[in-house]
Amino acid sequence: MNRIIAVLRALGGAIRTTHRRRASRMSAMRNAALAVAIAAGLPTAAHAEPERIAVDPGADWQHAPTGIRLPPTLNGLQRDRITSFLAGDNNIGSTYFSPSEDEILSIYIYRSGSYDVSMMMDATAQSIFANDRLGTVDTSAGLYANFGDAMIGEGSGLRTTYPVEGPFRSTGLAMFQRGDWLIKLRMSSKTGDAATLDKRLALIAAGLPLSPAAGKAPPAYRIAPCEDARALPKARRRDLEMTDWLLSTTAISLLYDSSETAASFTPADAAGEQGRSILCRDASSQPGRMAYRHADSGEPYAIVFGDSGVVASVGSIGFADENANPRPILLTLGNGMRTQFYRAFETMPPFEQMLEAVNDEGFLAVVERTGDGSTISLPMGD
């Protein structure tokens, strides 16, 4: 168990529970178990043990990179603590309670392997459904809404609340993007119904104090299940030329270096291919390992592990070779602090082959965020 905790901290930067002070850690551990299996043994970016940040109980605390301020009280809720899960304030969590502790709010500000709010919101919601500490979540009666003004991007945030049968009466989630950061709010109530909690969560999400930013996120949408179960044949592997490695890693490095980027750190995004392609949830998904495809083409896009920003992605990037062969398909595994590149494919691989590669193979190249930019490590030649 200690090794599992260590690996999860190393890759995802946090072992976060639903409402930290009162909930068991076991649900979060179960939800992240597959991510841990995939990530086992991977080197990590600079990281630290979760550490409580010392703050003045009566003063705001500001997350400098995003300008988000966490006040001592927020809509009648009292701030309990602020925790750093990763060095350099790259993964921050704060917990708020009502005076009677019948309402609990958790706010997370963190780096991610993807900043697609639609996809990351859906993956997080699925982990909530599996959290038995809340009770039984009625997934058929959820309330869904977009939010966001001109400051973060109109309609760029997503919010959802659900009735619960058990210790809590309702639970909800809201998420939006702030440059190369995700902001996630988790709120549960022991007394209010889903509609009441939705109004509370809407006020808090819209009123969270933040500073203006240059970049605005695109509108988000609710992801639906894929209409078909498309089976892909196992893809042949492809060895890249150094030119392709340079182009691929540099593209991701430039995204890391841009603090105002609204892109994700995936091959398709670096190649400018994401556009507004709508994603759907593949039938092979399960809490802790959610798979997503392009709804139009049916091709795989990404697998999201847990809810702390660990994402495996596939996409084409680089040059077609002199024999007019198609561009290679890259596979990466990233968490917003580090992107690892694996041996490429000739064609789009099925999800099972993606899992096998990141679980069983070593990475060949890596881009890692530093304090003033990023570094690139390339494969050595023969």
pLDDT digits (tens, 9 = 90+) for 48-85: 578 999 999 999 999 988 889 999 999 999 999 999 98
| pLDDT of 35 higher than 60 | no
Q: Classify residue 55 by burial, with Cβ atoms within 10 Å: 0-12, 13-18, 19+.
A: middle
| pLDDT of 292 higher than 90 | yes
186 by DSSP, 3-state: which? strand
Contact criterion met (CB below 8 Å) for 351 and 300 = yes
The predicted pLDDT at position 12 comes to 39
Q: Classify residue 18 by burial, with Cβ atoms within 10 Å: 0-12, 13-18, 19+.
A: buried
Tokens coding 5: 């905790």
Spatial neighbors of 79 by CB under 8 A, at least 6 apart, are 57, 70, 71, 72, 73, 94, 95, 96
At which residue do the structure tokens 């809490």 appear? 287
CB atoms within 10 A of CB 359: 15
| pLDDT of 339 higher than 90 | yes
| pLDDT of 145 higher than 90 | yes
Tokens coding 219: 């509108």
CA distances for 14 relative to 50, 172, 284, 330, 362, angstroms: 7, 21, 26, 27, 23
Highest mean pLDDT among 17-26, 29-38, 153-162: 153-162
The predicted pLDDT at position 89 comes to 87
Q: Name which of 271, 334, 348, 276 is nearest 303 in CA terms.
A: 334
Condensed to tens digits (0 to 9), the pLDDT of residues 196-205 reads 999 999 999 9
Contact criterion met (CB below 8 Å) for 24 and 17 = yes
DSSP 117-181: HHHHHHHHHHHHHT-TTT-EE-GGG-EEEEE--TTT-TT-EEEEEEEEESS-SEEEEEEEE-SS-
The predicted pLDDT at position 266 comes to 58
**What pTM, to 2 d.p., does this model score?**
0.85
List 366's β-bridge partners, or say none.
340, 377
pLDDT band at 356 (very low <50, low <70, confident <90, very high): very high
Q: How far apart are CA 55 and CA 317, in angstroms?
A: 45
Q: How far apart are CA 15 and CA 30, in angstroms?
A: 11
| pLDDT of 371 higher than 60 | yes
Please state, rounded to an integer, the average pLDDT across all residues of the chain.
Answer: 82
Tokens coding 337: 């602090």
Condensed to tens digits (0 to 9), the pLDDT of residues 82-114 reads 999 887 889 999 999 999 999 999 999 999 999
pLDDT band at 47 (very low <50, low <70, confident <90, very high): very low
pLDDT band at 171 (very low <50, low <70, confident <90, very high): very high
Report CA dihedral (277, 280, 285, 290) to the nearest 10 degrees: 40
- CB environment 367-378: b (16+ within 10 A), e (fewer): bbbeeeebebee
pLDDT band at 151 (very low <50, low <70, confident <90, very high): confident
Q: What percentage of the chain reaches a pLDDT higher than 70?
A: 79
| pLDDT of 217 higher than 60 | yes
